[in-house]
Amino acid sequence: MNFIRCLFLALILGLPVAPAWAQISDINVAINKAGRQRMLSQRMAKAYFQIGQQIDVDRSRKVLDQSVALFDRQLVELKNYAPAGETRDIYLKLEKAWLAYKDSLIGVAPSTDQGRKVLAASEDVLALAQQGTVLFEKQSGTNAGRLVNISGRQRMLSQRMAKFYQAQAWGVGDAQSAANLDKARKEFAEAHQELTSAPANTPGIREHLELVRQQWFFFENALAQKSGPDKRPQTAVATTSERILEEMESVVALYERLPK
């Protein structure tokens, strides 16, 4: 029954089934899962802000619940895989930060006061998840590992943009939210150019990167809309951020399979 539930959640999330739910088998898988923790830190906050605004509530709740469960599972796997020393210490710190973040997400009903705590906690968790991913990439020392990290970071940026958009729409954004959203947009566009020009790209990777480019057009248009009381712009951001995430998951999975 647990396997069936995991398979169902993987399909709903649009994640590759085998890499997402298997134990970590090699360094590229570790980089992928460590990078996915970055994405989940932002996706959970995005979903929380959407619930608070009553935007596509049922789906947003599913996104939040499934993301919490996946973060929990992958954290255990990464802690078990991490070598002793700096990497292990980062994941122990991440575990502590995650417990505080998780409590802010599911402990009480969404409110704007709580939303500000969620925003701050999501940044703390992201910072540590980023450190862990970088350490695994250094351990890899390969071009494939670097491409897994860069493409995996694109997943995070997609959710980070949506997070800050929804935070501002709900009135819980901080003084840096607008600048952080704009920075993430620029970083996503620049990284996509870098990925599309990577010599290691296979025909399959190039095909999926083109699909990402197409989804980026719709997502960027949604982000450019001013949020309003009818909530249609917020709903568009919620929907397009999930679509581009699904495409980026496919890209990361293909880079993960490149020769070490």
Tens-digit pLDDT profile for residues 35-84:
999 999 999 999 999 999 999 999 999 999 999 999 999 999 999 999 99
Query: What pLDDT is stored for residue 8 in this prediction?
Result: 47
The rounded distance, in Å, linking the Cα atoms of 81 and 102 is: 22
Q: Is the pLDDT of residue 226 over 50?
A: yes
Q: Is the pLDDT of residue 183 over 70?
A: yes
pTM for the model stands at: 0.91
Q: Is the pLDDT of residue 12 over 70?
A: no
- Report the pLDDT averaged over residues 218-236: 96
The rounded distance, in Å, linking the Cα atoms of 241 and 97 is: 25
Q: Which is nearest to 121 in space by CA: 103, 139, 138, 144?
A: 103
> Under a CB-based contact definition with an 8 Å cutoff, are residues 236 and 222 in contact?
yes
Query: What pLDDT is stored for residue 42 in this prediction?
Result: 98
